[in-house]
Amino acid sequence: MNDLKAGFASVNVTPMTGIEIRGYFVERISEGVLDDLELRALALEAGGRRAVLMSMDVCGIHNPEADSFRAAIMEATGLPEDAIFLSATHTHTGPELRAASDKPIDQEYFCFVRRRMADCARYALEDLRPARMGWAVGQAPHVAFMRRYRMKDGSIRTNPGVGNPDIEAPIGEVDERVNVLRFERPGAETLVLVNFGNHPDTIGGCRISADWPGFLRRSLEKAIDGTRCIFFNGAQGDVNHVNVNAKDGDLNDMFMDFDDVSRGYGHARHVGRVVAGAVMQVYDKVNYLDVDSLHFLQRVIRVPSNMPEPGQMEQARLYDRLHNEGRDSEIPFKGMALTTVVAEAERMVRLEHGPEWFEMRMSAVSIGPVAFVGIPGEPFTGIGRALKQTPGWTLVLPCCLTNGAEGYFPMEEAYIEGGYEARSSPFRQGVAEQLIEEGQKLLAAL
């Protein structure tokens, strides 16, 4: 028997000019708006339970801030904490939410977003209507690429540059699957949930934008009348839009940015349209399911810290000081290699005296035989693939940056090979495998 209800809401959360844009190790202050940032919510009810899944166009929502937002939502809706699934799309042309900032503009924006969170969740619950859910998996080819490469000299580099003749091969395999859930509501708008893993870092510059997830939502809603879309980013820690073998028209609407990465607003539109096309491939042919249960669960896990060795600290302090003084030109690296050593130095200085462990939340929500796993940071593709293969489920949707934004989660071999993500990660080797195990335990407990 089908017992499902679904509701939707969307609110504008575009920040004021002058707020810091996050995503790089270079300060960027917003100078204007290319397109609005949004907070979207999908409310669900089945089996006497309610939950709300929310997605916001920001670079990240860290653990303390996520706790504060969820507390506001709990107060406004009466939902238990476990029933609130809060994700960031990870746009690199948006702010990062930090309540502890001493900047008045950050504090003002945080308070504004906190109120909007509570409003949006309440609006979505008020919109609950009888629904039937269908699932399908589309394909989005040639818009996501592994960003870690083995070079001919044996070294490992992240984003080594388009056309670099020293590239030997990418490390890993892109997951081009696009998970789609369609909630058909008689007499009301159809709701579409999309899950796909790729970095929204295609634009650059100092103007606010939702990046390609915004284009995805707008393209889909324009193409299919009476449809609203919500997006949850997947396992994207080692994946982005950069095609190092670009040819013909691949670089249309793009420019070479400061870190040897090709970017462009027109390319964000392209990626969004391709992912929207993957949804339209399967939209009319979803597999409908009867849903009579809704479950949710979260667990706090302890992850070992990636503390530095004492012998590493002299150089780390030097690079960290030079970077903070605006003297990157004195650090003997360029492009993404410079970003890598700066990020590594920052990690070492920050963790020189611990802590030895971090605590973070893993989250899960199931709608009948379909499950979401919320990961509080940036998981590598291997984590997403492993979770998708968990037996007993029709479909598993891994979601990054959910109820936290605590850093990169590289696979074990990445720590041996090197590269930006592993060298900057605050977590010790083995974190990815631990998250896979904990995620599968959560799914079993559901």
pLDDT at 101: 82
> Which residue type, as a one-letter code, is found at position 255?
F
Instruction: Return left, alpha or beta for 34; rule: phi > 0 is left, psi -120 to 50 is alpha, else beta.
Output: alpha
The pLDDT tens digits of the residues spanning 300-351 come to 999 999 999 999 999 999 999 999 999 999 999 988 889 999 999 999 999 9
CA–CA gap between residue 407 and residue 57 (Å, rounded): 18
272 neighbors 252 (Cβ within 8 angstroms): no
Q: State the chain's mean pLDDT as an integer.
A: 96
Give the pair of three-digit tokens for residue 367: 């709608």
pLDDT at 31: 97
Residue 100 predicted with pLDDT over 80: no
Q: Is 280 exposed, middle or buried (0-12, 13-18, 19+ CB in 10 A)?
A: middle
pLDDT at 444: 96
The pLDDT tens digits of the residues spanning 137-148 come to 999 999 999 999
Residue 258 predicted with pLDDT over 90: no
CA–CA gap between residue 383 and residue 414 (Å, rounded): 13
pLDDT at 260: 84
Residue 356 predicted with pLDDT over 90: yes
Identify any residues that bridge with 6 across adjacent strands, giving them in sequence order: 44, 129
pLDDT at 25: 82
pLDDT at 175: 98
Please give, one letter per residue, the 3-state secondary structure of the chain: CCCCEEEEEEEECCCCCCCEECCCCCCEECCEECCCCEEEEEEEEECCEEEEEEEECCCEECHHHHHHHHHHHHHHHCCCHHHEEEEECCCCCCCEECCCCCCHHHHHHHHHHHHHHHHHHHHHHHCCEECEEEEEEEECCCCCEECEEEECCCCEEECCCCCCCCEEEECCCCCCEEEEEEEECCCCCEEEEEEECCCCCCCCCCEECCHHHHHHHHHHHHHCCCEEEEEEECCCCCEECCCCCCCCCCCCCCEECCCCCEECHHHHHHHHHHHHHHHHHHHHHCEEECCCCEEEEEEEEEEEECCCCHHHHHHHHHHHHHHHCCCHHHCCCCHHHHHHHHHHHHHHHHHCCCCCEEEEEEEEEEECCEEEEECCCEECHHHHHHHHCCCCCCEEEEECCECCCCCEECCHHHHHHCCHHHHHCCECCCHHHHHHHHHHHHHHHC
pLDDT at 18: 96
323 neighbors 349 (Cβ within 8 angstroms): no
pLDDT at 317: 96
289 neighbors 184 (Cβ within 8 angstroms): no
CA–CA gap between residue 70 and residue 79 (Å, rounded): 9
Residue 298 predicted with pLDDT over 90: yes
The pLDDT tens digits of the residues spanning 1-26 come to 899 999 999 999 999 999 999 998 88
The pLDDT tens digits of the residues spanning 389-412 come to 999 999 999 999 999 999 999 999
The pLDDT tens digits of the residues spanning 183-209 come to 999 999 999 999 999 999 999 999 999
pLDDT at 204: 96
pLDDT at 429: 97
pLDDT at 166: 96
Express as a percent the part of the chain with pLDDT over 70. Answer: 100
CA–CA gap between residue 331 and residue 341 (Å, rounded): 9
pLDDT at 350: 96
Express as a percent the part of the chain with pLDDT over 90. Answer: 93
Residue 99 predicted with pLDDT over 80: no
pLDDT at 382: 97
> Which residue type, as a one-letter code, is found at position 222?
K
Give the pair of three-digit tokens for residue 386: 């492993």
CA–CA gap between residue 200 and residue 193 (Å, rounded): 17
pLDDT at 98: 80
Q: Which of 104-108, 188-192, 382-386 has the lowest mean pLDDT?
A: 104-108
pLDDT at 313: 96
